[in-house]
Each structure stands twice: as C-alpha cells, then as structure tokens.
Amino acid sequence: MRTAPGRVRKGGAEGDSREDRCKKRLPHHQQQIDSPTAEAVGHPKRWATQDTVGHGERSLSREPTPDYHGDMDENFLQGARGFAESLVARAGEVVREMSGRTRIERKADDSMVTEADRRVEALIRGAIADRFPDHAFVGEEMYAGRRGTRPMIEAEYCWVVDPIDGTRNFAHRFPMVATSIALMRGDRPVVGVVTEHTTGTVYSAVAGEGAHCDGRAMRVNNEAISRDTLVAVPSGRHQPILPIIRDWVDRYVLRNVGSTALHMAYVAAGAVDAAFGYECKLWDVAAGALLIDEAGGRCTGLDGRTPLPLDPRGYDGRDMPFFCASPAVFEALLASLAAPGGKWKS
C-alpha cells in the first residue's frame, strides 16, 4: 500500500506534505544559496541524512561509500554542489524576471528557445569560467539544435547544463520549469542539481554521498508494482502516441510535466515510481541519472542493461533514450518496455 503523501517514514512531522518537507531547508543550505561566496561554496558542511523524503520499508539513511571518490576531494565535490545550487538560485531569478515577456524563437531542429534560455546559460557558463577556469562546459544552447557538433573537451571535469528544461512550459507560463546542472568527471556525473523554479525545490546529489531534497535525504519509492504505480512518460510531440503508453494507460497512473529533469528528480524523491524518455539529450539526463543512482534507483538505456553513454567528450547531440525506476518496479515495467517488437517505438 502506497504511503500517504503526507507521511514521513523517518524524522519529520507526520502530516507534513511533500512540498512542506522539501521546503524545510537546513540553515547552512540556505546560507549557501543566499551568499554564494568562495567561503560558502568552497567547503560546506556534510549534509544531514537523518530525515528522509521518499518511501520504502528498508532503512532510508545512506552512509557515505568508503573510498568512492578515489583521488577526488570530498570537500571539492560538496563545494561544487553548493556552487551549483547558488547557480540554479540565480537562474530562478532570471526565470521569474522574464516570465511572460520573452520572445520565442525556433532552433534548427524546430525546438523552442527563448532569450531566457540563452541568458541563463550565459550566466551559468560565465560563473563556472570564473570559478573553475580549467573546467569544460556543455550547454543546450551551445548546440543550437545542430546535431553532429562535437565539443572539444580535454579537461578532467565538465559541467553539463540545461538552462531551462521545460521551455515550452515557460513560454506558456505553465508552472513546471527546471534548471539542471551536472558536473562530470569523464563519463561519470559526480555532482547533480535540479531545481523546480515555481516552488524553489532543489534536488541534489554528490557521488557516493546520497541524494537530497532541500537538504533532506531522499530515496526512491520501494513499493511493489500495482495499478497505483506512477510512471512519468514523454509528451511525444514529434510522433504519435507510443504503443507502450497506450499499453500502460489502463494499467498504471501516467504523468507528464513537460520536463525530463523533473521526471527524473521525482523518481529519485519517491514521488514517481518510474520514468522513460526517448527524445532526450545529455543535458536533460546527466544530473537526473546521478540523483536516481544516489537515491537507490536504477537508470539505464531502454534495454534495461546498457548504462547511459554520459561521456560529454564524445557527445554529438544525438538522442539518449533512458529508463529509470525504483528497484521494486524496474523489472516488471522493463518487461513490457523492452518486449519483442519494441513497444516503445511508434
């Protein structure tokens, strides 16, 4: 039986809604966003893990993985997370300032772009260049809809950014708009931050340190598959409704909020049990993949086995289909998703 949304398994007050729980930020977390100085983002304290957002019968606390980082400095990664959080907060200011008064254009692939997309990406890219001049950067607007463009990346670290995930929502003033930032080391995301700008909710993770919703540890839902299972599905704007969606519509509860990054964050937080997408790019999934992994979920290609090819050094803008879910529902949903004949295809 699904835990009532207003319940907290461990820590926190009963009766709090998920939104209320996510808004209870730790003091040092708020200070990092309000005052993104070098001191604030350089060496923040370890995040608390005693309160947990999400569901599940197992223990919801997560101990840091010993020696996970190798030669990566833990303080550096925690500082990078704090820095990314300060960036998404600044992005939110631009989103709110430009909401309802930005010009809509079309990229070469016919996808929508606004001046706010470009302004947020420029802000984030400039801040990263100032703070980490030896790091590389890949952003959605760098590609401008041109597939086949390969970034020249020789740096050890690369930031992968979707300045506004949910541009169509933003253009129509539909309140589900996100910014996604991932810090990659080779083909591994080591920091991931996704924020939903309407509520200000921040989902974040550091490799080996667990995932958090506004400073409180979060875990994927651990309930068995049922007719109440929530699955986030793509909008399918460029092709007819997929056979798999028609197959699932009478068996599960389907949701689409118009943002891949938010779909993945919701899986990590236990608000949604599974999500899949097929017209996705590296910047859509890089941060979310880490959130899900650190929250105890699984994120793969649509075959359920192949890891997502997240290495930005060879990325050319191609689509990156993915499937993510809690372990409790992963195999059951995958069986229909990867059935013979490819039911996810049109």
pLDDT band at 52 (very low <50, low <70, confident <90, very high): low
- Residue 158 sits in which domain range? 18-219
Look at residue 89 in the predicted model and tell me its pLDDT: 97
Do 25 and 143 reside in the same domain of the chain? Answer: yes
Do 173 and 260 reside in the same domain of the chain? Answer: no
Mean pLDDT of 197-216: 97
Do 131 and 107 reside in the same domain of the chain? Answer: yes
| Identity of residue 305 | R
Instruction: Assess if residue 164 is contained within a domain.
Output: yes
- Closest by Cα among 306, 329, 297 to 62: 297
Instruction: Assess if residue 343 is contained within a domain.
Output: no
Judge contact between 47 and 209, C-beta under 8 A. yes
Chosen domain end from 190, 219, 248: 219
Instruction: Assess if residue 168 is contained within a domain.
Output: yes
The DSSP string of 177-222 is -EEEEEEEETTEEEEEEEEETTTTEEEEEETTS-EEETTEEEE---
Instruction: Assess if residue 2 is contained within a domain.
Output: no
Look at residue 63 in the predicted model and tell me its pLDDT: 38
Alpha-carbon distance of 282 to 206, in angstroms, equals 18
Look at residue 203 in the predicted model and tell me its pLDDT: 98
Farthest CA pair distance, the chain: 55
Query: Can you give the pTM of this predicted structure?
Result: 0.79
Look at residue 243 in the predicted model and tell me its pLDDT: 86
Do 37 and 138 reside in the same domain of the chain? Answer: yes
Judge contact between 210 and 62, C-beta under 8 A. yes
What is the percent of the chain with per-residue pLDDT over 90, rounded to a whole number? 54
**Domain CATH code at residue 238:** 3.40.190.80
Instruction: Assess if residue 4 is contained within a domain.
Output: no
Judge contact between 218 and 52, C-beta under 8 A. yes
Do 110 and 42 reside in the same domain of the chain? Answer: yes
Alpha-carbon distance of 330 to 241, in angstroms, equals 22
269-304 confidence digits (pLDDT tens): 999 999 999 889 999 999 999 999 999 999 999 888
Q: Is residue 140 pLDDT above 60, yes or no?
A: yes
Do 124 and 163 reside in the same domain of the chain? Answer: yes
Do 105 and 137 reside in the same domain of the chain? Answer: yes
How many domains does the chain contain in total? 2
- Name the residue with higher pLDDT: 295 or 243: 295
**Domain CATH code at residue 69:** 3.30.540.10
